[in-house]
Amino acid sequence: MQIKDIIALDDKYYMGVFGKRFPICFVDGKGSSLIDSQGKVYTDFLGGIAVNCLGYSDPGLIQTLQDQVAHVMHTSNYFYVETQALAAEKLCKATGFDKVFFSNSGAEALEGAIKLARKYFHNKGQEKYEIITMKNSFHGRTLATLSATGQAHYQEPYHPLVPTFVHVPFNDLQAVKAAVTDKTCAILMEPIQGEGGVIPAQAEFIQGVRQLCNEKGILMIADEVQCGMGRTGCMLASQKYGVKPDIVTLAKALGGGVPIGAFLATEEVAAAFAPGDHGSTFGGNHLATAAANYVLGQLMETDMLKKIAALGAYFKEKLQELVDKFPNIALQARGDGLMLGLQITPQVPVKDIVVALQQKGYIIGTAGGNTLRFVPPYVISKADIDGLIAALEKIFQML
Protein backbone atom coordinates (compact mmCIF):
# COMPACT_ATOMS: atom_id res chain seq x y z
CA MET A 1 0.00 0.00 0.00
CA GLN A 2 1.01 3.59 -0.60
CA ILE A 3 1.56 5.66 2.54
CA LYS A 4 -1.11 8.17 1.45
CA ASP A 5 -3.71 5.37 1.23
CA ILE A 6 -2.78 4.10 4.70
CA ILE A 7 -3.10 7.63 6.08
CA ALA A 8 -6.52 8.02 4.42
CA LEU A 9 -7.81 4.78 6.01
CA ASP A 10 -6.41 5.74 9.40
CA ASP A 11 -8.00 9.20 9.19
CA LYS A 12 -11.37 7.66 8.35
CA TYR A 13 -11.48 4.69 10.71
CA TYR A 14 -8.99 5.01 13.58
CA MET A 15 -9.89 6.99 16.69
CA GLY A 16 -8.07 10.28 16.61
CA VAL A 17 -6.04 9.84 19.81
CA PHE A 18 -2.69 9.86 18.00
CA GLY A 19 -3.50 12.96 15.94
CA LYS A 20 -1.40 13.50 12.86
CA ARG A 21 1.30 10.86 13.03
CA PHE A 22 4.65 11.07 11.26
CA PRO A 23 3.88 10.17 7.62
CA ILE A 24 6.03 7.05 7.73
CA CYS A 25 5.07 3.38 7.76
CA PHE A 26 7.79 0.88 8.53
CA VAL A 27 7.63 -2.43 6.74
CA ASP A 28 10.89 -4.14 7.69
CA GLY A 29 13.90 -3.95 9.94
CA LYS A 30 17.19 -5.57 10.73
CA GLY A 31 19.31 -4.99 13.82
CA SER A 32 19.08 -1.28 14.62
CA SER A 33 17.77 -0.39 11.13
CA LEU A 34 14.19 0.22 10.04
CA ILE A 35 12.94 0.36 6.44
CA ASP A 36 9.83 2.32 5.45
CA SER A 37 7.31 1.62 2.70
CA GLN A 38 9.29 3.80 0.27
CA GLY A 39 12.44 1.77 0.88
CA LYS A 40 14.17 4.46 2.94
CA VAL A 41 16.47 3.09 5.66
CA TYR A 42 16.64 4.65 9.14
CA THR A 43 18.75 4.01 12.22
CA ASP A 44 16.42 3.55 15.14
CA PHE A 45 17.02 5.31 18.46
CA LEU A 46 13.42 4.94 19.62
CA GLY A 47 13.04 1.16 19.61
CA GLY A 48 9.26 1.41 19.44
CA ILE A 49 9.47 3.44 22.70
CA ALA A 50 12.00 1.30 24.59
CA VAL A 51 10.31 -1.93 23.47
CA ASN A 52 12.37 -3.50 20.68
CA CYS A 53 15.40 -4.21 22.84
CA LEU A 54 16.87 -6.84 20.50
CA GLY A 55 16.31 -4.63 17.45
CA TYR A 56 14.59 -6.08 14.40
CA SER A 57 14.64 -9.57 12.89
CA ASP A 58 16.63 -11.13 15.71
CA PRO A 59 17.02 -14.66 14.31
CA GLY A 60 16.61 -16.37 17.69
CA LEU A 61 13.45 -14.44 18.54
CA ILE A 62 12.00 -15.17 15.11
CA GLN A 63 12.74 -18.87 15.53
CA THR A 64 11.28 -18.95 19.05
CA LEU A 65 8.07 -17.24 17.96
CA GLN A 66 7.69 -19.31 14.80
CA ASP A 67 8.09 -22.51 16.79
CA GLN A 68 5.53 -21.36 19.34
CA VAL A 69 2.99 -20.15 16.78
CA ALA A 70 3.21 -23.51 15.04
CA HIS A 71 1.98 -25.22 18.23
CA VAL A 72 -0.17 -23.24 20.70
CA MET A 73 -0.25 -19.49 21.31
CA HIS A 74 -2.84 -19.45 24.05
CA THR A 75 -4.61 -22.03 26.18
CA SER A 76 -5.82 -19.95 29.20
CA ASN A 77 -4.57 -19.87 32.75
CA TYR A 78 -6.82 -22.80 33.73
CA PHE A 79 -3.86 -24.89 32.63
CA TYR A 80 -0.11 -24.84 33.20
CA VAL A 81 2.00 -23.01 30.62
CA GLU A 82 5.59 -24.21 30.24
CA THR A 83 7.00 -20.97 28.81
CA GLN A 84 5.24 -19.01 31.58
CA ALA A 85 6.92 -21.12 34.27
CA LEU A 86 10.30 -20.85 32.56
CA ALA A 87 10.06 -17.08 32.04
CA ALA A 88 8.92 -16.65 35.66
CA GLU A 89 11.98 -18.55 36.90
CA LYS A 90 14.36 -16.52 34.74
CA LEU A 91 12.80 -13.20 35.71
CA CYS A 92 12.92 -13.98 39.43
CA LYS A 93 16.53 -15.17 39.21
CA ALA A 94 17.57 -12.10 37.20
CA THR A 95 15.95 -9.62 39.58
CA GLY A 96 16.22 -11.26 43.00
CA PHE A 97 12.44 -11.29 43.47
CA ASP A 98 10.47 -14.38 44.48
CA LYS A 99 7.19 -14.26 42.56
CA VAL A 100 5.92 -12.82 39.29
CA PHE A 101 2.60 -12.26 37.53
CA PHE A 102 2.47 -11.64 33.77
CA SER A 103 0.12 -9.02 32.30
CA ASN A 104 -0.28 -7.72 28.75
CA SER A 105 0.98 -4.17 29.22
CA GLY A 106 2.69 -1.75 31.54
CA ALA A 107 -0.51 -0.16 32.82
CA GLU A 108 -1.90 -3.59 33.67
CA ALA A 109 1.28 -4.45 35.55
CA LEU A 110 0.79 -1.28 37.60
CA GLU A 111 -2.88 -2.12 38.21
CA GLY A 112 -1.78 -5.49 39.59
CA ALA A 113 0.93 -3.90 41.73
CA ILE A 114 -1.58 -1.43 43.21
CA LYS A 115 -4.06 -4.23 43.95
CA LEU A 116 -1.34 -6.34 45.58
CA ALA A 117 -0.25 -3.46 47.83
CA ARG A 118 -3.84 -2.88 48.94
CA LYS A 119 -4.50 -6.59 49.48
CA TYR A 120 -1.35 -6.90 51.59
CA PHE A 121 -2.71 -4.45 54.16
CA HIS A 122 -6.28 -5.71 53.81
CA ASN A 123 -5.01 -9.11 54.96
CA LYS A 124 -3.39 -7.50 57.96
CA GLY A 125 -6.70 -5.89 58.85
CA GLN A 126 -5.18 -2.43 58.35
CA GLU A 127 -7.04 0.32 56.56
CA LYS A 128 -4.18 1.47 54.34
CA TYR A 129 -4.96 2.33 50.74
CA GLU A 130 -3.30 5.67 49.92
CA ILE A 131 -0.41 5.59 47.48
CA ILE A 132 2.11 8.41 47.30
CA THR A 133 3.33 9.00 43.74
CA MET A 134 5.59 11.57 42.14
CA LYS A 135 4.76 14.70 40.20
CA ASN A 136 5.84 14.51 36.56
CA SER A 137 5.55 10.68 36.66
CA PHE A 138 3.87 8.44 34.11
CA HIS A 139 2.25 5.15 35.04
CA GLY A 140 -0.20 4.39 32.22
CA ARG A 141 -3.56 5.15 30.67
CA THR A 142 -6.07 3.06 32.63
CA LEU A 143 -8.15 5.01 35.11
CA ALA A 144 -6.13 3.97 38.18
CA THR A 145 -2.72 4.37 36.54
CA LEU A 146 -3.82 7.69 35.05
CA SER A 147 -4.77 8.76 38.56
CA ALA A 148 -1.35 7.64 39.80
CA THR A 149 0.35 9.61 37.03
CA GLY A 150 1.61 12.99 38.21
CA GLN A 151 0.85 15.02 35.09
CA ALA A 152 -2.41 16.94 34.96
CA HIS A 153 -2.67 17.07 31.16
CA TYR A 154 -3.18 13.29 30.94
CA GLN A 155 -5.90 13.46 33.61
CA GLU A 156 -7.78 16.63 32.82
CA PRO A 157 -10.69 15.19 30.73
CA TYR A 158 -11.26 12.19 33.01
CA HIS A 159 -12.26 13.55 36.38
CA PRO A 160 -13.35 12.30 38.82
CA LEU A 161 -10.16 10.21 39.02
CA VAL A 162 -9.57 7.18 41.22
CA PRO A 163 -9.00 8.76 44.63
CA THR A 164 -6.27 7.79 47.12
CA PHE A 165 -3.27 8.85 45.01
CA VAL A 166 -1.23 11.65 46.58
CA HIS A 167 1.30 13.45 44.37
CA VAL A 168 4.52 14.94 45.71
CA PRO A 169 7.51 16.58 43.96
CA PHE A 170 10.04 14.06 42.61
CA ASN A 171 13.41 13.96 44.38
CA ASP A 172 11.96 15.74 47.43
CA LEU A 173 12.26 13.36 50.38
CA GLN A 174 10.86 15.87 52.86
CA ALA A 175 7.70 16.17 50.76
CA VAL A 176 7.31 12.38 50.70
CA LYS A 177 7.76 12.19 54.45
CA ALA A 178 5.20 14.95 54.96
CA ALA A 179 2.67 13.12 52.77
CA VAL A 180 2.75 9.86 54.76
CA THR A 181 -0.40 9.27 56.81
CA ASP A 182 -1.71 6.27 58.73
CA LYS A 183 -3.60 5.38 55.52
CA THR A 184 -0.49 5.21 53.31
CA CYS A 185 0.06 1.73 51.89
CA ALA A 186 2.76 2.36 49.28
CA ILE A 187 5.15 4.81 47.69
CA LEU A 188 5.29 4.43 43.92
CA MET A 189 8.05 5.88 41.76
CA GLU A 190 9.97 5.47 38.53
CA PRO A 191 13.71 5.16 39.34
CA ILE A 192 14.20 7.13 36.13
CA GLN A 193 11.19 9.13 34.98
CA GLY A 194 10.72 8.34 31.30
CA GLU A 195 7.79 10.21 29.74
CA GLY A 196 8.43 13.05 32.20
CA GLY A 197 11.73 13.91 30.51
CA VAL A 198 14.30 11.16 31.32
CA ILE A 199 14.90 12.38 34.87
CA PRO A 200 16.80 10.01 37.18
CA ALA A 201 16.03 9.78 40.87
CA GLN A 202 18.81 11.12 43.05
CA ALA A 203 20.45 8.25 44.91
CA GLU A 204 19.74 9.83 48.32
CA PHE A 205 16.10 10.21 47.34
CA ILE A 206 15.38 6.66 46.23
CA GLN A 207 17.44 5.24 49.09
CA GLY A 208 15.64 7.59 51.47
CA VAL A 209 12.27 6.40 50.17
CA ARG A 210 13.31 2.79 50.84
CA GLN A 211 14.36 3.67 54.37
CA LEU A 212 11.17 5.62 55.00
CA CYS A 213 9.13 2.62 53.82
CA ASN A 214 11.05 0.38 56.22
CA GLU A 215 10.51 2.73 59.13
CA LYS A 216 6.78 3.22 58.50
CA GLY A 217 5.92 -0.29 57.32
CA ILE A 218 4.93 0.99 53.87
CA LEU A 219 5.50 -0.88 50.60
CA MET A 220 7.83 0.53 47.97
CA ILE A 221 6.77 0.04 44.36
CA ALA A 222 9.26 0.77 41.57
CA ASP A 223 7.74 1.32 38.14
CA GLU A 224 10.48 -0.01 35.87
CA VAL A 225 8.26 -0.45 32.83
CA GLN A 226 10.67 1.78 30.89
CA CYS A 227 13.95 1.78 32.82
CA GLY A 228 14.00 -1.94 33.69
CA MET A 229 14.94 -5.01 31.64
CA GLY A 230 18.59 -4.07 31.24
CA ARG A 231 17.98 -0.56 29.92
CA THR A 232 20.51 0.99 32.34
CA GLY A 233 23.02 -1.85 32.07
CA CYS A 234 21.51 -3.54 35.15
CA MET A 235 18.51 -5.83 34.92
CA LEU A 236 16.64 -3.36 37.15
CA ALA A 237 17.47 0.32 37.55
CA SER A 238 16.72 -0.01 41.27
CA GLN A 239 19.56 -2.57 41.52
CA LYS A 240 21.89 0.14 40.27
CA TYR A 241 20.83 2.34 43.18
CA GLY A 242 21.33 -0.55 45.60
CA VAL A 243 17.63 -0.49 46.46
CA LYS A 244 15.24 -3.43 46.57
CA PRO A 245 11.60 -2.40 46.28
CA ASP A 246 8.80 -4.66 47.56
CA ILE A 247 7.08 -4.67 44.17
CA VAL A 248 8.49 -3.92 40.71
CA THR A 249 6.63 -3.46 37.43
CA LEU A 250 8.07 -4.26 34.01
CA ALA A 251 6.79 -4.28 30.44
CA LYS A 252 8.12 -2.44 27.39
CA ALA A 253 11.36 -4.37 26.60
CA LEU A 254 10.22 -7.59 28.29
CA GLY A 255 8.88 -9.26 25.14
CA GLY A 256 11.25 -7.74 22.60
CA GLY A 257 8.19 -6.38 20.74
CA VAL A 258 5.57 -8.93 21.78
CA PRO A 259 3.11 -7.32 24.24
CA ILE A 260 3.78 -8.47 27.80
CA GLY A 261 4.09 -6.86 31.22
CA ALA A 262 4.91 -8.20 34.65
CA PHE A 263 4.92 -7.34 38.29
CA LEU A 264 7.31 -8.94 40.72
CA ALA A 265 7.18 -9.11 44.49
CA THR A 266 8.95 -10.56 47.46
CA GLU A 267 7.59 -13.83 48.84
CA GLU A 268 6.03 -12.08 51.82
CA VAL A 269 4.16 -9.48 49.77
CA ALA A 270 3.18 -11.85 46.95
CA ALA A 271 1.62 -14.19 49.52
CA ALA A 272 -1.12 -11.59 50.04
CA PHE A 273 -2.79 -12.75 46.82
CA ALA A 274 -5.03 -15.79 47.27
CA PRO A 275 -6.57 -17.79 44.40
CA GLY A 276 -9.10 -15.61 42.60
CA ASP A 277 -7.65 -12.27 43.77
CA HIS A 278 -6.14 -11.43 40.40
CA GLY A 279 -6.06 -12.84 36.90
CA SER A 280 -5.88 -12.20 33.18
CA THR A 281 -7.20 -13.98 30.10
CA PHE A 282 -4.23 -13.27 27.85
CA GLY A 283 -1.61 -12.50 30.51
CA GLY A 284 1.36 -14.86 30.44
CA ASN A 285 0.20 -16.86 27.44
CA HIS A 286 2.47 -19.21 25.50
CA LEU A 287 3.37 -16.71 22.80
CA ALA A 288 4.17 -13.73 25.03
CA THR A 289 6.12 -15.73 27.59
CA ALA A 290 8.06 -17.59 24.89
CA ALA A 291 9.21 -14.15 23.74
CA ALA A 292 10.04 -12.99 27.28
CA ASN A 293 11.87 -16.22 27.98
CA TYR A 294 14.04 -15.67 24.93
CA VAL A 295 14.71 -11.98 25.68
CA LEU A 296 15.62 -12.81 29.29
CA GLY A 297 17.99 -15.51 28.08
CA GLN A 298 19.77 -12.99 25.87
CA LEU A 299 20.12 -10.53 28.74
CA MET A 300 21.27 -13.11 31.27
CA GLU A 301 23.42 -15.43 29.22
CA THR A 302 25.31 -13.03 26.94
CA ASP A 303 27.42 -9.93 27.63
CA MET A 304 24.54 -7.67 26.60
CA LEU A 305 24.23 -5.85 29.95
CA LYS A 306 27.92 -4.95 29.88
CA LYS A 307 27.58 -3.69 26.32
CA ILE A 308 24.58 -1.54 27.27
CA ALA A 309 26.58 0.05 30.09
CA ALA A 310 29.60 0.74 27.87
CA LEU A 311 27.59 2.04 24.90
CA GLY A 312 25.44 4.14 27.21
CA ALA A 313 28.47 5.77 28.82
CA TYR A 314 29.94 6.55 25.40
CA PHE A 315 26.60 7.89 24.11
CA LYS A 316 26.11 10.13 27.15
CA GLU A 317 29.63 11.52 26.78
CA LYS A 318 28.83 12.43 23.18
CA LEU A 319 25.57 14.10 24.22
CA GLN A 320 27.47 16.02 26.88
CA GLU A 321 29.88 17.22 24.17
CA LEU A 322 26.87 18.61 22.30
CA VAL A 323 25.82 20.46 25.47
CA ASP A 324 29.33 21.90 25.76
CA LYS A 325 29.41 22.87 22.09
CA PHE A 326 25.87 24.25 21.78
CA PRO A 327 25.03 25.54 25.27
CA ASN A 328 22.26 27.78 23.91
CA ILE A 329 20.45 24.85 22.29
CA ALA A 330 21.27 21.70 24.26
CA LEU A 331 20.76 22.45 27.95
CA GLN A 332 21.42 19.13 29.67
CA ALA A 333 22.30 15.48 28.93
CA ARG A 334 20.58 13.10 31.36
CA GLY A 335 19.86 9.46 32.01
CA ASP A 336 21.66 6.18 32.33
CA GLY A 337 22.69 3.35 30.03
CA LEU A 338 20.57 3.35 26.89
CA MET A 339 17.89 5.56 28.40
CA LEU A 340 19.16 9.06 27.68
CA GLY A 341 17.65 12.48 27.30
CA LEU A 342 18.90 15.75 25.86
CA GLN A 343 16.99 18.75 27.10
CA ILE A 344 16.58 21.40 24.43
CA THR A 345 16.02 25.12 24.94
CA PRO A 346 12.29 26.04 24.98
CA GLN A 347 12.91 28.27 21.94
CA VAL A 348 13.38 25.21 19.70
CA PRO A 349 10.46 22.73 19.65
CA VAL A 350 11.87 19.20 19.93
CA LYS A 351 9.50 18.00 17.23
CA ASP A 352 11.37 20.13 14.68
CA ILE A 353 14.58 18.30 15.58
CA VAL A 354 12.84 14.92 15.42
CA VAL A 355 11.58 15.66 11.90
CA ALA A 356 14.99 17.00 10.77
CA LEU A 357 16.57 13.78 12.06
CA GLN A 358 14.01 11.68 10.20
CA GLN A 359 15.04 13.43 6.99
CA LYS A 360 18.62 12.43 7.77
CA GLY A 361 17.59 8.82 8.45
CA TYR A 362 17.33 8.73 12.25
CA ILE A 363 14.31 7.86 14.37
CA ILE A 364 14.23 9.31 17.87
CA GLY A 365 11.58 10.17 20.44
CA THR A 366 10.73 13.03 22.73
CA ALA A 367 9.74 13.34 26.38
CA GLY A 368 8.44 16.02 28.72
CA GLY A 369 10.25 19.31 29.27
CA ASN A 370 11.26 19.73 25.59
CA THR A 371 13.60 16.75 25.82
CA LEU A 372 14.92 14.50 23.07
CA ARG A 373 14.63 10.88 24.21
CA PHE A 374 16.97 8.09 23.16
CA VAL A 375 15.88 4.55 24.05
CA PRO A 376 17.46 2.55 21.22
CA PRO A 377 17.58 -1.21 20.77
CA TYR A 378 20.44 -2.75 22.76
CA VAL A 379 22.04 -3.89 19.50
CA ILE A 380 22.84 -0.32 18.48
CA SER A 381 26.51 0.22 17.53
CA LYS A 382 29.09 2.88 18.31
CA ALA A 383 29.00 3.82 14.62
CA ASP A 384 25.22 4.32 14.86
CA ILE A 385 25.77 6.65 17.83
CA ASP A 386 28.51 8.58 16.01
CA GLY A 387 26.22 8.98 13.01
CA LEU A 388 23.36 10.31 15.11
CA ILE A 389 25.61 12.75 16.96
CA ALA A 390 27.01 14.05 13.65
CA ALA A 391 23.46 14.51 12.34
CA LEU A 392 22.41 16.34 15.51
CA GLU A 393 25.48 18.56 15.25
CA LYS A 394 24.58 19.52 11.67
CA ILE A 395 21.01 20.31 12.72
CA PHE A 396 22.17 22.41 15.70
CA GLN A 397 24.57 24.36 13.44
CA MET A 398 21.62 25.33 11.20
CA LEU A 399 19.48 26.61 14.10
What is the nearest approach in angstroms of ligand PLP to the Cβ of residue 115? 15
190 scored as a contact of ligand PLP (CB under 6 A): yes
Instruction: Examine residue 113 and tell whether it contacts ligand PLP (CB under 6 A).
Output: no
280 is in an annotated binding site: yes
CA angle, residues 45, 47, 50, in degrees to nearest 5: 110
Binding of residue 247 to ligand PLP (CB under 6 A): no
Asked whether the beta carbons of 377 and 256 are under 8 A apart, the reply is: no
Closest CA to 314 of 226, 236, 384, 363: 384
Q: Using CB under 6 A, which of the segments 84-92, 99-107, 232-240, 359-367 binds ligand PLP?
A: 99-107
With CB atoms as reference, the residue minimizing the distance to ligand PLP is 106
Smallest distance from the beta carbon of 51 to ligand PLP, in angstroms? 9
Q: Which of 81, 100, 107, 220 binds ligand PLP (CB under 6 A)?
A: 107
Of residues 107 and 388, the one with the C-beta less far from ligand PLP? 107
Structural element, H or E, at residue 165: strand 165-168
Q: Cβ(320)–Cβ(333) under 8 Å?
A: yes
Q: How many angstroms separate the first and last alpha carbons of the chain?
A: 36
Helix spans in 258-344 (H): 267-270, 286-301, 304-325
Q: Answer for the pair 342, 330: CB distance below 8 angstroms, yes or no.
A: yes
Nearer of residues 83 and 103 to ligand PLP, judged by Cβ = 103
Q: Is residue 263 near ligand PLP by the rule CB under 6 A?
A: no
Preceding peptide of 200 cis, ω within 30°: no
Please tell me whether 138 is known to bind a ligand.
yes
Q: How far apart are CA 275 and CA 267, in angstroms?
A: 15
d(CA 255, CA 19): 27
Sole window of 117-125, 136-144, 176-184, 364-372 interacting with ligand PLP (rule: CB under 6 A): 136-144
Q: How many residues bind ligand PLP (CB under 6 A)?
A: 15
Residues flagged as binding site for N(2)-acetyl-L-ornithine: 141, 280
Binding residues vs ligand PLP (CB under 6 A):
105-107, 110, 138-140, 190, 194-195, 223, 225-226, 251-252
Residues flagged as binding site for pyridoxal 5'-phosphate: 106-107, 138, 223-226, 281
